[in-house]
Amino acid sequence: MGLSHTIKRLARSAEAHEQDELRETLDELGGTPIDQVEDKCVTECCGTVRSISLRPRQNDVPALVVDLDDGHRTMNLVWLGRRTIAGIEPGVFLKVKGRVLFKKGVPTMYNPAYQIKPIAQKG
């Protein structure tokens, strides 16, 4: 076994461990796993913010796009007319509620209600 193989195995283990912790937190807060949401249904989900981007303006309306990961799948959260939202940044844990639409196969919520949730550090 080479050093690069060992490093890849350890990195996968750390990522798998993080995904397991996200799933446990999801179970504690009672959100619907993103891989189980249905198109056009109002749903509550929770997860960690992975990335934030500002979508190019269309008709002079900016859109803040957040990738939310719950350990099962990633969902796009889109706030129309926003450039930033105080407190929402990568690594923050959110609980969101809104209508899910599938855009190009990706679950997406527009202007969801949200709560920033503290997550207990384990171990």
List the domain boundaries for the chain. Answer: 3-117
Encode 18-52 in three state secondary structure. HHHHHHHHHHHHCCCCHHHCCCCCEEEEEEEEEEE
Mean pLDDT across 2-27? 65
Higher pLDDT, 107 or 62: 107
> Nearest CA to 121 among 25, 51, 49, 12?
25
- Tell me the CATH number of domain 3-117, given options 2.40.50.140, 3.30.428.10, 2.40.50.100, 3.40.50.1370: 2.40.50.140
At residue 123 the predicted structure's pLDDT band, cuts being 50, 70 and 90, is very low
pTM of the model: 0.77
CA distance 15 to 87: 24
Residue 115 has pLDDT above 80, yes or no: yes
